Amino acid sequence: MAKSSADDEELRRACEAALESTKQKIVMSIRVAKSRGIWAKTGKLGRSHTAKPRVIAISTKAKGQRTKAFLHVLKYSTGGVLEPAKLYKLKHLSKVEVVTNDPSGCTFMLGFDNLRSQSVAPPQWTMRNVDDRNRVLLCILNICKDVLGRLPKVVGIDVVEMALWAKENTPTFTKQHTNLQDGPVSAAVEEREMKVTVERELVSQAEEEDMEALLGTYVMGIGEAEAFSERLKREVQALEAANVHAILENEPLIDEVLQGLEAATSCVEDMDEWLGIFNLKLRHMREDIESIESRNNKLEMQSVNNKALIEELDKLLERLRIPSEYAASLTGGSFDEARMLQNIEACEWLTNALRGLEAPNLDPSYANMRAVKEKRAELDKLKTTFVRRASEFLRNYFTSLVDFMTSDKSYFSQRGQLKRPDHADLRYKCRTYARLLQHLKSLDKNCLGSLRKAYCTSLNLLLRREAREFANELRASTKASRNPTVWLEGSVGSNQNVNSADTSTVSDAYAKMLTIFIPLLVDESSFFAHFMCFEVPALVPPGGLANGNKSAHDEDDANYDDLGIMDIDENDNKAGKNTGELEALNESLHDLLDGIQEDFYAVVDWAYKIDPLRCISMHGITERYISGQKADAAGFVRILLDDLESRISMQFSRFVDEACHQIERNERNVRQLGVLSYIPRFATLATRMEQYIQGQSRDLVDQAYAKFVTTMFLTLDKIAKADPKYEDIMLLENYAAFQNSLYDLANMVPTLAKFYHEASESYEQACTRHINVIIFYQFERLFQFVRRIEDLMYTIPPEEIPFQLGLSKMDLRKVVKSSLSGVDKFISAMYKRLQKNLTSEELLPSLWDKCKKEFLDKYESFAQLVAKIYPSENVPSVSEMRDLLASM
């Protein structure tokens, strides 16, 4: 018999190479022919397609404790290399059917329960012989049994016949029993060592031995089936006859048994009658007992209900009772500090009592009881009385507290002594009634409006008095010389040095004003928000910044606005959710602090009059404080700082506008020569302004620089155009002076660097125009000749130019003789002319170098034109002219 392809090692290696990426272990690989049948009307499977060569590879893959089994169909590519074509999972195999239309029995079909279309006939697989078919089917069935724990349905082949075939085709060997986790084939000899792999027989060894023993009792040939059947029939008939004979022999015994059954039946009937009588009596007794138990249960239930009712009524009476001591405190008690503890306890009791008479704390069935309604009305009357008395007391208390402080001059700044406002005692006294205010809010929220108004009105008088006295003494105690506001005016006596007195005490005084009062106002705002029970977040969180530098509470912990009390209502902790509360707080803060800004404005105006440049440092100080105010509820303090910043910017803009007017007044003066007075003065002014910059005031100063320089350059252009003869000299001298005076500052200030470069470009343009004028004055005929040649070169060839009128060689010799004979005298005259009108002697060397370079470039262009158009003519060479200029 030909060797099976299942034993082909090359085929196995080709399959392993094709499935290498799947990391699966090949159990069997065999060649098959694939065809597909169609169901004809007769119901038989017919062939309609040509068979295609394929390779079936059965593989396994261990995954954790489980093993998966797969059936791969591989096809040959164009180069004869195997490649995967189809993949089936054996766990979905439901049916194995051998096609009956194939007489050889080598064709079979595999049915899978997960195919998308069951109406399409599955492919048919044809083996070379029955042995190959049995090899594949046995391998599939063994894997399904061991790995999946079940067998698919087998149609068209006898399982016993396959087992016998497997036994005959399995060589004798000792089985290697190993762990099934290594795969179903590891429990059997590998396929290459045997013709057929049979891991376990389909019929057990014991069943096989019993079948052999049964068949061994009949010594017959294979062809004696009819004789064997007749013998079996005879033996069955003999067994039936023996059974009937045995029944007939046992008839007396059966009679005795029947008599015993009749006697037992009689006894059972008597027993049943007795049990019926007893059951009736027991039923009557059970009914009597149930009636007694029902009456007892009702009595017991009534007793329990009565007891519970008494207890509930006692609780209700206790809830409705008003303690006499609380009633006395609520209706006529004193609000002195010593009595506040009793008042707070009375408030807590009243709050709890009112809540206790509201749903869900009170059972709805009690709500309509007359006693409950009367008690609720009595509690409401107590609440109204107490709220009215407490509100009236607090309004008078706030007024008297502030009046006491304002009447004592020691609380305020006096001549020669600056007094820091200290509200520690005020807040301590207010904290005594903080808990009372919270209870008033819980009892009647509407009563807080008048209390907040009274507090704001009283404290506003105190804060404005403190700020006014402090600001007045601050200005009186600050010694500073007043600097002039005229910096850039070109008056007759403008050459004297600008007064540069130290005015740092002015900005220090402004900073001190902010340092003292901004934290105080923030603290007052925060204290007011908590004291008056606003549901807003803390204005200055613990450890936060109250000014631009450090927490204001570091100096005196007693000033911190924490009231030291717990919120009555836990919902009060959800701060910031009620925008209406925030709006009401900002309105109250406006009433509390309004008017204090006037004293800050007075300090700013006073500082401006002493030294307008101090607006720069004051602007930086204000910006630092603005960046430190992050809390939304401190809205008025932020508005105050923003207004201060706007006021400072307005005053500084006023100074800048006045300085620009001073610059513009220069153009109205009589004819001016040399460097204008405001050019060096601006450098002095810019140096002073840079010294005053703090924090975020850079933008303010840069805007001033832009306005100053723009006005200076425009005014310079107007003054220069007034005398066209000296326009360029005027421009180049002033632009040079601007660059020289601002060189150091331009390296540090980007805005000034931009204007520095602008002045440099204007200087170069003015120099170029002035030098060209001087050169053309001395050598006008020579360079006019050059210009005529250059104009003609656009229209005619260079060789025709010598034949034009006025451009002949003779004309060239005349021009050279008149312009270059005694050229050293002309150059000296050019130097004297350049020196004559220049007032800034330090510019002469650089201007003369530029003049020589410009003349040499023009002469070099002239020499090149002569060499190109008049090649036979000789003129002084460029090198000779360069040596002559170098010696001058």
Which of residues 321 and 229 earns the better pLDDT score?
Answer: 229
Average of per-residue pLDDT across 339-363: 71
Q: Which residue has the tokens 């030291």?
A: 564
Residue 115 has pLDDT above 50, yes or no: yes
Average of per-residue pLDDT across 380-388: 79
Lowest mean per-residue pLDDT among 41-55, 529-543, 671-685 = 41-55
- State the pLDDT confidence band at 223, using cuts at 50, 70 and 90: low
Average of per-residue pLDDT across 499-516: 81
- State the pLDDT confidence band at 190, using cuts at 50, 70 and 90: very low
Residue 181 has pLDDT above 50, yes or no: no
Residue 56 has pLDDT above 90, yes or no: yes
Residue 58 has pLDDT above 90, yes or no: yes
Which of residues 511 and 697 earns the better pLDDT score?
Answer: 511
Query: What residue spans of 579-677 are helical by DSSP H?
Result: 579-593, 597-610, 614-628, 635-664
Residue 57 pLDDT: 92
- Nearest-5° Cα angle at 321, 317 to 326: 160
Which of residues 655 and 776 earns the better pLDDT score?
Answer: 655
- State the pLDDT confidence band at 2, using cuts at 50, 70 and 90: low
* Contact present, 515 and 547 (Cβ < 8 Å): yes
- State the pLDDT confidence band at 551, using cuts at 50, 70 and 90: very low
Which of residues 652 and 675 earns the better pLDDT score?
Answer: 652
Residue 688 pLDDT: 86
Paired with 154 in beta bridges are 96
Residue 691 has pLDDT above 70, yes or no: yes
Residue 579 has pLDDT above 70, yes or no: yes
Residue 471 has pLDDT above 50, yes or no: yes
Residue 118 pLDDT: 60
Residue 107 pLDDT: 92
Q: Which residue has the tokens 């006939």?
A: 121
Average of per-residue pLDDT across 2-16: 79
Residue 495 pLDDT: 41
- CB-facing half-sphere around the CA of 141: CA atoms within 13 A: 26
Grouping H, G, I as helix, E, B as strand and the rest as coil, residue 484 is coil
Residue 183 has pLDDT above 50, yes or no: no
Residue 873 has pLDDT above 90, yes or no: no
Model pTM score:
0.55
Q: Which residues contact 7 (CB under 8 A, 6 or more apart)?
A: 191, 192, 195
Residue 363 pLDDT: 63
Share of the chain above pLDDT 70, in %: 78
Q: How many whole angstroms separate alpha carbon 656 and alpha carbon 617?
A: 15
- State the pLDDT confidence band at 550, using cuts at 50, 70 and 90: very low
Residue 452 pLDDT: 85
Share of the chain above pLDDT 90, in %: 5
- State the pLDDT confidence band at 179, using cuts at 50, 70 and 90: very low
Residue 375's closest CA among 317, 325, 310, 445? 317
- State the pLDDT confidence band at 202, using cuts at 50, 70 and 90: low
Lowest mean per-residue pLDDT among 83-87, 213-217, 485-489 = 485-489
User: Counting beta carbons within 10 angstroms of the beta carbon of residue 643, is it exposed (0 to 12), middle (13 to 18) or buried (19 or more)?
Assistant: middle
Residue 779 CA, distance from chain mean position: 75
Residue 102 CA, distance from chain mean position: 72
Q: pLDDT digits over 276-307, tens only?
A: 899 988 988 999 899 899 989 988 898 888 88
Q: pLDDT digits over 596-618, tens only?
A: 889 888 888 888 888 888 888 88
Residue 3 pLDDT: 65
Which of residues 817 and 458 earns the better pLDDT score?
Answer: 458
Q: How many whole angstroms separate alpha carbon 607 and alpha carbon 615?
A: 8
User: What is the CB neighbour count within 10 angstroms for residue 582?
Assistant: 20
Q: pLDDT digits over 131-154, tens only?
A: 888 888 889 988 888 888 888 888
Two tokens at 545? 């910044």
Report for 123-127, 351-355, 716-720, 806-810: range of highest mean pLDDT = 123-127
Average of per-residue pLDDT across 461-486: 80
* Strand spans (E) along 757-886: none
Residue 126 pLDDT: 92
Q: pLDDT digits over 421-431, tens only?
A: 888 888 888 88
Average of per-residue pLDDT across 43-52: 57
Average of per-residue pLDDT across 816-833: 77
The mean pLDDT value of the chain amounts to 77
Residue 578 pLDDT: 62
Please report, for residues 55, 246, 560, 798, 881, the alpha-carbon distance to residue 870 in angstroms, rounded to integers and kept in the order given. Answer: 99, 164, 98, 9, 19
- State the pLDDT confidence band at 32, using cuts at 50, 70 and 90: very high
Which of residues 159 and 124 earns the better pLDDT score?
Answer: 124
Residue 576 has pLDDT above 60, yes or no: no
Which of residues 8 and 510 earns the better pLDDT score?
Answer: 510
What's at 554, amino acid-wise? D
Report for 38-47, 99-108, 198-207, 851-860: range of highest mean pLDDT = 99-108
Paired with 57 in beta bridges are 29, 72
Residue 220 has pLDDT above 60, yes or no: no
Q: How many whole angstroms separate alpha carbon 647 and alpha carbon 628?
A: 19
Q: What is the dihedral of CA 64, 67, 73, 76, to 10 degrees?
A: 50
Residue 695 pLDDT: 63
* Contact present, 873 and 809 (Cβ < 8 Å): yes
Q: How many whole angstroms separate alpha carbon 659 and alpha carbon 613?
A: 12
Residue 333 has pLDDT above 60, yes or no: yes
Two tokens at 301? 């239930």
Average of per-residue pLDDT across 610-639: 78
Lowest mean per-residue pLDDT among 260-264, 538-542, 564-568 = 564-568
* Contact present, 144 and 181 (Cβ < 8 Å): no
Q: How many whole angstroms separate alpha carbon 172 and alpha carbon 285?
A: 84
- Give kind and range of the element (H or E) at residue 69: strand 66-76
Lowest mean per-residue pLDDT among 194-203, 278-287, 677-686 = 194-203
Residue 216 pLDDT: 61
- State the pLDDT confidence band at 838, using cuts at 50, 70 and 90: confident
Residue 72 pLDDT: 92
User: What is the CB neighbour count within 10 angstroms for residue 382?
Assistant: 20
Residue 684 pLDDT: 86
Q: pLDDT digits over 704-731, tens only?
A: 889 988 988 898 888 888 877 788 888 8
Please report, for residues 58, 139, 169, 401, the alpha-carbon distance to residue 203 in angstroms, rounded to integers and kept in the order given. Answer: 24, 16, 15, 111
Residue 566 pLDDT: 38
Residue 238 pLDDT: 82
Residue 569 has pLDDT above 80, yes or no: no
- State the pLDDT confidence band at 529, using cuts at 50, 70 and 90: confident
Residue 37 pLDDT: 64
